[in-house]
Structure 1
Amino acid sequence: MPFPFRGFFLAGLLTLLLISSVQAQSVPTVIGARATLEPWSDPIEALGTLRADESITLSATLTEIIAQINFSDGEQVEAGQLLIKLEDNEEQAQLRVAQAIRDERRNALNRASQLLERNLAPRAEVEDTQARLRQAEAEIQALQARLANYRLLAPFSGRVGFRNISTGALVTPGMALVTLDKLDIMKLDFAVPEVFLDVLEPGLILTATSAAFPGYTFQGEIATIGSRVDPISRSMNVRAELQNPEMRLRPGMLMEVVVRRRPRQTIVIPEAALIPEGERHFVLVIHEEEDNRIERRQVQIGQRRPGDVEVLEGINKGELVVSHGVQHSREGDNVQLLGIASDETSVRELLESRRGQGDS
C-alpha cells in the first residue's frame, strides 16, 4: 500500500475509534428499580409503657407462721399451684372435731329415722336431729373456707418474682409475699392526639421497639381505645396487646410505638427515583422493549417512609424506573442498565459486581 494512502487509512480508522469511544462514554449507566405493589399504611408514632396481661401481689389475710414455700425466684408456675402454706395444725384439729360431730349426728339421724318408721319416735325428734346434722356440716364448710386462707395458690399461670420470705417467718394480714405476672401477652398503654380519633379502631396493626432489643420489632394490635380525652394534653389513651412468646418483654418497659393506620395496597418506588421540581415530581421510566429508552413522566406521590415513596398516579406496577444515575439521564436517552435493585439485590452489590467486571 502506498505510504500516502496508508496514512489516510490509519487517520480515518483512528477517527472512527475516537468517535466510537466518545459514543460509548456518552451512554449513561444507570441502576433501575421496579414499581411494586406493597402493603402501606400511614404511621402514628407514640411512646408507651408495658404492663403484664395479669399482675398481682399475693399477701396473707391472717397472722401465722410460714410452713412451706414451694417456688423459686423467677419460676414459671401454673394456675392452682400451691406457692405458700401457713401453719394450720390447730385449724386441722378443729376440722377433725367437726367431722366427728357430723358423723355422730348422722348416726343419730339414722337411728331416729328407723324408730320413726316403726312409730317408736316422734317426728319432731327426727327433724331436730336433721337440723343438728346440717349445723355440723355448715361448721365443716366454715372451717374448710378458713383453711383455704392458709394456702396461697397461683390464681393464673405466670412468672413469680423474687422470694423475700423464708420458712418460719411470721406474716401478718396485708403483708406482700410474692408477685405473679402473666407475661405471654403484654398490654401496651400509650397516648395519641385526639385528632386521630376518627382513624383509630380496635384491630389496627402496630409495631413496637425497645432500646433493650435493638433491631427487633414486636407485633401487636389495638385492643381498646380510651373513653375520655385528656382536657389538658388533648390526647387519649390507647391499649394494645403484644404477643410475648419468648418472654423478652417485661412490665414497665418503655416502647416506641408505630400504629399502622389506613392499611392499603399501593404502588411503591425508591425515594431516590424522584425528581422534584417545585410542587411537582417526575421519574425516569426505562422502556426495556425500546433499547432502554428513557421517558420523563410526572407522578403524583402520597406518603413517604425511609427509602420508599407511595405513588398515587403516573406509574403502573412492574414498570422500571431509574433509581440511581438520574442526574446523568435525559428523556430520549438510551441508557446502559447496570442492574435492577430489589430486596434480593442491593445497589451496593450491583456496584461491586460492576467494579469486579471492570477489574477483570
Structure 2
Amino acid sequence: MPIVRTLLVLFPLTAVIAGAFWWTNRPPVVSVVSPFYGSAAEIVYATAVVEPVAWAKVTSIIRERIVSLCGCEGSSVREGDELAVLDSGDARATLAELEARQELAKAERERSFELLERRVVSQQLYDKAQSQLIQINALLAAQKERLRDYRITAPMDGVVLRQDGSVGEVAEPGEILFWIGAPTPLQLVAEVNEEDIPKVTKGQKALIRADAFPDQDLTATVSRITPKGDPVLKNYRVYLDLPADTPLRIGMTVELNIITRDVEETLLLPVAALDGSQVQTLDEENRLQLQRVQVGIRGTKTVEILDGLASDARVMSPFVEDLEQGKKVSPGEGMQE
C-alpha cells in the first residue's frame, strides 16, 4: 500500500511538471498579416500661409505722428488714393524757411547782376550769388519731395486687407500700416526643408489640412519654387496656387502634404512589419524566417514592397527583434494565417 500511495502522489506531480515544461516552452503567439495591394504616395510635409497672389505692404519711411487714417479696412482703393497722413508741421515750417531764403537769394543775385553790369562788383561775386541760389533751389525741391512722404497712398488697385495703427500713434520707418491686395486669386507660401526640395517640382498636387475646415478635402498645386534658399533656416520657399472656390482666407496657416510620387495597385505592408529592409515570415511549419525585401515608398502607415516577397506570404507584424530565425511560433487566434 505505501508503494501505491507513493505512485498516486508522483503521478499528479509529474503532470504538473510536464504542464509547466510545456507552458514554458510553448511557441510564442505572434500577429501575422499578409501583403495587400493598394495605392502608395511619397509626400513632402510643409507648413504654409495663405496670401493673395498680388498684394503690397504699405509702410512709412519716416518717423512721425499719425494725424489721420482712411478707416478703409475691407474697402476697395485705387492706386494713389490717400490712406494716411502724418504730422508735417515741422517739415512745412522748413519749407517756408527755404522759400524765404530763396526769395532773398534771388534778390541778391539780381542785385549782383546789376552791379556786375555797372562794373561795381566782380564776376566772382555774381557767381557766388548764383551758386547760393542754385543750392537753395535744390534744398527747396528736396523738401517739397520729402513732404510727399507725409501722405501715405495706395501703391496699387485692390482691397485694404488689413489696417494697423491709430491716430496719435507714432509711425516707425518700416512699420506696416496697411496690407493691400486683390482678394482673389489666392496662393499658399510654404517653407520646405532643403533635404526635401529636390523632390518638389512645378505642377505637383498638395493635400491641405486646415484647422478651420477639418472635414473638407482641400488641394493646391505647386506653381513655382524660389531659386535661392535660406542658409540659416535651411529651407526653400514654395508657392502653390489655390482653386478659385477655396474656402481658405488670407492669413490662415495650414499644413501641406505635397505628393511627389504616387503608385496605384502596388504591394504594401504595415510599417511595423519591417525592420529597415527586413521582414519576418512564417513557413509552412510556422517557423520564423528572416527575409530581406526591396522597399519603395515609405508612408506613415504602410510601405511599398518592390521585390523579395510573395503576395501570399505570411508576415509577422510588428517585427520582434528577440525572436531568432527558425523558431516555431503560433499565429494568434483571430489573426491572419
TM-score (norm 1): 0.47
Q: Which protein has the bigger strand share?
A: 1
